[in-house]
């Protein structure tokens, strides 16, 4: 999905015609732009004329009352009007000067209305002309859509947002209208004191904060664990789902709740609630996604550790996998030198996902995966891949994650864990893990007492599940015999070891 930019250089100078020259078009990410004329000056000029004439009229009336000038003429005019049975439209009761002033005021008002209407019509005419000037098809149609959205009140819609800025230089001015693709960011928080900083950083570090919309799920015990407050930048762009921490059902259910406030934004992003962002992360990720060799790409990885920020530019590549002792496939990431383009990988990481909004619409989170922790990522990966999505690790770091280590616990204090507050967590998780095993074909018996909706929360038809295991270089448990724990070879396939030449370069 490549967006387009159009620049119209328009100048409006006093006493001269408006001159608009469309600049050469170029493909950019991720917004469309149209520079329009500033007709506000014309309207303001008409308003200024009206104010000046109104002030002059008031001054004239005050001078007549003070000096008596015109009063004798008005008396004679009133007498004549009475003798003849009336005047002509009442003008006989007004002095010539006052009548002239009234006419001037009416004329000024007319000019003001015409200027304002003409400016609006001219903007819409220019918007329609953009497509014709550029051939009417392909890029021209994209330009025309951007121009029409910019010229229409409330243009844009859920997938886009329209912003307008005006730059003045001397007596000339240029107004720039940008049609920005919107981004929905899912942030599920469990009693996380860092959530507020994460949400604030999403807006502070974005190149275009107005296009960022956050779905924040608060599962809090204390007030200071909230993700937002009234001082938050772009406060109106945050949609909050708040439940008591005692009603929490785990991270997967939290991501489902976040998805309930998605409103059709163009892009979908998923983050943990203790993440910091890089400057212009929004534009960089959209541009990066456009370089992926897939019609349905997904950028995903385990973000680098926060202490590594500024220390190394190595990027984590989500290529490793292993079977846990509980029979669940888990993932690992290898730090690698930045590549020219995002690297293909076989898995998705719940802590960072960036894709088009269709991912959330086609692969929605299952609300019946309560208390699932291990197993969330492999199930979502298989579902998304069979829906036709391809996964890529970013080739540059745009966010950093605060992992739980002895160092972070010492610096920031102990962070409450979901499983610490739910005594029966491990028993509940084991039940839902049986559902994951059954859905992925690792368990032949359907678990009892657990809802499974394959139609809504199952696999896609673009590719088969068996094809996914072959692609990911994963052998399922029990493939060779009943006690076979399963094997994986994803690491050497997707993160091959360095060649001798590459080692020499290091």
**Is residue 299 a contact partner of residue 353, using CB atoms and an 8 Å limit?**
yes
d(CA 280, CA 358): 23
Q: How many other CB atoms are found less than 10 A from the CB of residue 33?
A: 21
Which residue would you say has higher pLDDT here, 388 or 99?
388
- pLDDT tens digits for range 171-180: 777 888 888 9
d(CA 493, CA 385): 17
Task: Tell me the CA distances in angstroms from 359 to 172, 209, 342, 457, 458, one per residue in order.
Answer: 45, 22, 18, 13, 14
How would residue 99 be classed by pLDDT, with cut points 50, 70 and 90?
low
| pLDDT recorded at residue 473 | 92
pLDDT for 157 beyond 60: no
pLDDT for 80 beyond 60: no
Q: Which domains does the chain have, with CATH numbers?
A: 1-180 (no CATH), 182-424+452-464 (3.90.550.10)
d(CA 506, CA 499): 11
Which residue would you say has higher pLDDT here, 255 or 58?
255
pLDDT for 413 beyond 80: no
- For the chain, the average pLDDT equals 74
146: enclosing H helix or E strand: helix 139-151
| pLDDT recorded at residue 158 | 78
Out of 21-30, 76-85, 381-390, 405-414, which region has the weakest mean confidence (pLDDT)? 21-30
Q: How many other CB atoms are found less than 10 A from the CB of residue 501?
A: 7
Out of 68-82, 153-167, 205-219, 355-369, which region has the weakest mean confidence (pLDDT)? 68-82
| pLDDT recorded at residue 47 | 64
| pLDDT recorded at residue 7 | 35
pLDDT for 440 beyond 80: yes
Percentage of the chain modeled with pLDDT above 90: 33
Which residue would you say has higher pLDDT here, 155 or 305?
305
Which residue would you say has higher pLDDT here, 167 or 114?
167
Largest CA distance in the chain: 122
């Amino acid at each position: 999905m490549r967006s387009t930019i159009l620049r119209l250089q328009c100048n409006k100078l006093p006493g001269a015609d408006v001159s608009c020259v469309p600049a050469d078009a170029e493909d950019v990410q991720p917004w469309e732009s149209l520079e329009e004329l500033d007709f506000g000056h014309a309207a303001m000029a008409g308003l200024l004329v009206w104010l000046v004439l109104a002030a002059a009229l008031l001054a004239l009336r005050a001078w007549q009352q003070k000096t008596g000038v015109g009063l004798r003429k008005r008396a004679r005019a009133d007498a004549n009007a009475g003798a003849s049975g009336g005047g002509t439209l009442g003008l006989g009761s007004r002095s010539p000067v006052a009548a002239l002033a009234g006419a001037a005021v009416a004329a000024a008002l007319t000019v003001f209305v015409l200027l304002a209407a003409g400016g609006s019509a001219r903007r819409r005419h220019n918007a329609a002309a953009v497509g014709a000037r550029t051939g009417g098809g392909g890029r021209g149609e994209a330009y025309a859509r951007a121009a029409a959205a910019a010229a229409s009140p409330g243009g844009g819609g859920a997938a886009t947002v329209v912003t307008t800025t005006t730059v003045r230089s001397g007596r000339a001015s240029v107004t720039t209208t940008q049609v920005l693709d919107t981004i929905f960011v899912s942030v599920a928080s469990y009693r996380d004191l860092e959530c507020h900083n994460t949400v604030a950083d999403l807006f502070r570090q974005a190149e275009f904060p107005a296009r960022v919309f956050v779905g924040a799920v608060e599962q809090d015990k204390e007030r200071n664990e909230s993700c937002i407050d009234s001082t938050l930048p772009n406060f109106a762009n945050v949609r909050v789902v708040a439940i008591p921490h005692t009603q929490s059902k785990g991270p997967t259910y939290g991501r489902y709740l976040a998805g309930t406030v998605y409103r059709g934004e163009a892009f979908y992003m998923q983050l943990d609630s203790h993440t910091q962002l890089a400057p212009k992360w929004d534009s960089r990720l959209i541009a990066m996604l456009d370089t992926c060799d897939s019609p349905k790409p997904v950028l995903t990885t385990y973000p680098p550790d926060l202490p590594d920020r500024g220390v190394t530019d190595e990027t984590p590549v989500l290529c490793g996998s292993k079977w846990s002792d509980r029979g669940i496939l888990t993932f690992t990431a290898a730090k690698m030198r930045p590549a020219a383009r995002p690297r293909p990988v076989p898995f998705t990481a719940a802590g960072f996902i960036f894709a088009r909004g269709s991912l959330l619409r086609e692969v929605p989170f299952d609300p019946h995966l309560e208390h699932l922790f291990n197993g969330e990522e492999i199930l979502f990966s298989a579902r998304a891949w069979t829906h036709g999505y391809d996964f890529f690790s970013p080739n540059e770091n745009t966010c950093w994650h605060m992992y739980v280590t002895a160092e972070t616990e010492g610096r920031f204090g102990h962070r409450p864990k979901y499983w610490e507050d739910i005594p029966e967590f491990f028993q509940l998780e084991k039940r839902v893990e049986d559902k994951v095993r059954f859905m992925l074909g690792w368990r032949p018996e359907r678990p009892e007492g657990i809802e499974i909706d394959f139609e809504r929360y199952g696999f896609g038809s673009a590719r088969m599940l068996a094809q996914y295991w072959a692609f990911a270089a994963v052998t399922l448990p029990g493939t060779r015999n009943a006690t076979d724990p399963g094997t994986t070879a994803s690491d050497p396939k997707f993160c091959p070891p360095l060649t001798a030449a590459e080692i020499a370069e290091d």
